[in-house]
A and B are shown apart, each in its own frame.
Chain A
Amino acid sequence: MTFNKKFLTGITFTAALTVLAACGGGGDGGEQTENAGEETTGISIFQSKVEISEQLEAAAAAYEEETGVPVEVIGTTGDDYAQQLQIRLNNQTGPSIFSIQNFEEATRLESYLYDLSGEDFVGDIAPDMELMLEDKLVGIPYGVEGFGIVYNKDLVDPADIADYDSLVSTIEDFNAEGINGFGLSSEAYFLIGHISNYPFSIQEDPQAFMDQVTNGEVTLAETPEFQKFGEFMEVVRENTPNPLDKTYDTQVGDFAAGKTAMIHQGNWAAGMLDEFEVDFEVGMAPFPLEGNDKLAVGVGSNWAVNGDKDQAEIDAAIEFLNWLHTSETGQKFIVEDFGFIPAMTNIEAGDLDPLSQAVLEASNSGETIPWSHNYYPANVVPNDFTPAAESFFVNEDMTGDELIENLQAAWENAAQ
């Protein structure tokens, strides 16, 4: 028994150490990367879009073959990109090229962003698509993306969803037939982030409006567009399966299987629809809130150069971006392999899927509304909007007006 007791005490002690270890750690999980490539200045790329990871590695290999400059692509899971980037930047193992999502993120990382205004190739960026911090150009757009109502042309006639009232009655009709009329999914941006754009983006000057909300000059609840939006969310809750039960995969999968007639998604979903080999035609229609007839088009992510590196590495990084956007091989990677709709005037769009084609046409004709969520307070969508939307979808007795009030409170919390 004494041996046993000692043994147990030993376990207790070890366990105590483990517990202390776990408490003190506080979530620093950054691994070190070797500082390779001192002889020729190599560069490293860390970016958030998982979908293009492999293709980007191929591009890096092609570049290395052409120029001899080693390019290391650091892998990401996408979800924790921002945290990983912060850790790398802080412990001096930051990449030479990284991606930033939007204006708010750029403001936070301002001290790391290299001013690219002077470079030649940035002159080809389509108007208003570059990421500016005051007069500095800090981000080169990946490409143009757009979202709206993605619908099954076999089930939905675009005329039936052209205005708000007919959209609502179409959704109700589908519900009666046992088909999901309007699919959202549980991820922050697909649940509320993207769709919450509309009431902001159809304001005359969305940015000025958002400033007013932040300053308390106007509330969301008193704005008619938001009241209507709240009403629409009630329609969704009553007539469709709970979006919290869906993931992006099942949302798009149900659509591909014909179980869902319309989903709120962007042109990025085309890749997955392709994998499902859907046998019907798909289209993208504007979300007709308060007479809106335009797709929401914007830039999902931007390339930025780490200004904290030594000049040789900065130059090498810019050279790579230059190659990617001006050389034939580089452009081919952007259009064909990454599948981007180019946001540069010097790059021809390739063969596009129908959704991207719709976005490109809208973008070329200028018939678009902007992505307001790029100007929301930092992280408000996952931090504050999502819990508000979740509680709306789990509490049947919460009204659309209450949802809008909660969004207002969420905004105030995030903007303070």
Chain B
Amino acid sequence: MAKRNKIGWYLLFTVPLLIIFTIVVIIPFVIGIYYAFFQWDGISANPMEFNGLDNFFRLMDDERFLRSTWLTVLFTVLSVITVNAVGLAFALLVTSKLKLANLARTMLFMPYLIGGLILGYIWQFVFLDVFTLIGGITGLDSLFFNWLNDEDFALFALVLVFTWQMAGYVMIVYIAGLQGIPGEVVEAAKMDGASGWQRFSRITVPLLMPAFTISLFLTLSYGFKIYDVNLSLTGGGPANATELFAMNIYNEIFGYNNYGYGQAKAIVFFVIVAAITLTQVYLTKKREVEM
């Protein structure tokens, strides 16, 4: 009797979520796979032509898509490194015996609370006005100019803004990890004469592995599917130099009205993101140590 009751509660809480998840995720996902085999402009009254795997073959010599793939990979690799390095540094900083630790924690987390769209517009202003101003005053105008108008630097601008946004978020994850490290282990290491760096690399890092798993997973997948900051900061420009995956798909579907082809891209995108993040989780999981 008690057991049945438990199942009842279980259903009560999970079924609504499952229904929503099915409606907004599973069903559109399956329909999307179906569309990927058609040539269609997205107007339901217009004809859909079945063209088998053509959409997928077309992908392989779509230069713009390949360039966008490369840019996305580059962006993701760079930002995974910077976000995690900065995030970990922040976490170490605010868990140290700093007086302003609590305040700093709040401040550092704040950028994440600002939506990506607004963040993009704010930084557009920073690059346009503040950067050129600094460049003008200091004379360092080879470094401080409007990055958004340079085909190479625009991508770094994206990395910078994304780091600024996400570092505070992964910081929270790292803080949770750092606080889980038992003080006696650290103390014992100290007694044995381990230096600060040794304590960090031999004790903190291995015990932080679970936090690394999550943080890497989050930044990897967020990086791959970034759209909002991309849209508001650069809009894919200049000259498509920062058109990342998600934006490329959006433009294909809504700009060029190639619904089927865009869906095919989205499927490939999904497979790539899933493969990479799952591999990453598998690899870092293996390195986690049990206490």
Contacts and interface: CB of A to CB of B under 8 A. Distances in A.
Contacts of A26: 28-29, 32, 249, 253, 263, 266
Given A24-B29, A27-B249, A242-B149, A8 B239 contact: no
A21 interface: yes
A416 to B, nearest CB: 10
B230 to A, nearest CB: 13
Given A21-B21, A24-B270, A387-B240, A111 B218 contact: no
Interface string A378-395: 110011001110110111
Size range of the chain B interface in the assembly:
35 or more
B273 interface: yes
A331 B210 CA distance: 68
Nearest to A246: B128
Contact of B255 (A15, A383, A390): A383
Contacts of B266: 23, 26
A108 B277 contact: no
A383 B214 contact: no
A231 to B, nearest CB: 21
A86 B277 contact: no
B180 A394 contact: no
A388 B64 CA distance: 13
Nearest to A21: B25
A23 B270 CA distance: 6
Contacts of B24: 21, 25
B273 A394 contact: no
B44 A89 contact: yes
B291 A1 contact: yes
Interface in B109-163: 128, 146, 148-151
Contact of B43 (A5, A8, A108): A108
A327 interface: no
Contacts of B273: 19, 23
A15 B43 contact: no
Interface string A185-212: 0000000000000000000000000000
A31 interface: no
Question: Interface majority SS on B: helix, strand, loop or mixed?
Answer: helix
A190 to B, nearest CB: 14
Contact of B149 (A19, A28, A245, A382): A245
Contact of A244 (B42, B149, B270): B149
B56 interface: no
A26 B213 CA distance: 27
Nearest to B254: A83
A111 B43 contact: yes
Size range of the chain A interface in the assembly:
35 or more
Question: Interface majority SS on A: helix, strand, loop or mixed?
Answer: helix
A67 interface: no
B255 A379 contact: yes
Nearest to A5: B210
B73 interface: no
A83 B256 CA distance: 11
B149 A15 contact: no
Contacts of B26: 24
Contacts of B173: 11
Interface string B9-30: 0000000000001001110110
B238 A82 contact: no
Contacts of A390: 237-239
A379 B250 contact: no
Given A23-B225, A388-B239, A394-B239, A111 B46 contact: yes
Interface string A108-150: 1101100000000000000000000000000000000000000
A8 B45 contact: no
A163 B242 CA distance: 39
17 contacts: A11-B214, A17-B21, A26-B29, A27-B249, A90-B43, A108-B257, A111-B46, A242-B146, A242-B149, A244-B148, A244-B149, A244-B238, A382-B255, A383-B255, A386-B237, A390-B238, A394-B150
Interface of B: 21, 24-26, 28-29, 32, 41-46, 128, 146, 148-151, 173, 176-177, 180, 182, 210-211, 213-214, 217-218, 221, 225, 237-240, 249-251, 253-257, 263, 266, 269-270, 273-274, 277, 281, 291
Interface of A: 1, 4-5, 7-8, 11-12, 15-17, 19-28, 82-83, 86, 89-90, 108-109, 111-112, 242, 244-245, 308, 378-379, 382-383, 386-388, 390-391, 393-395, 414
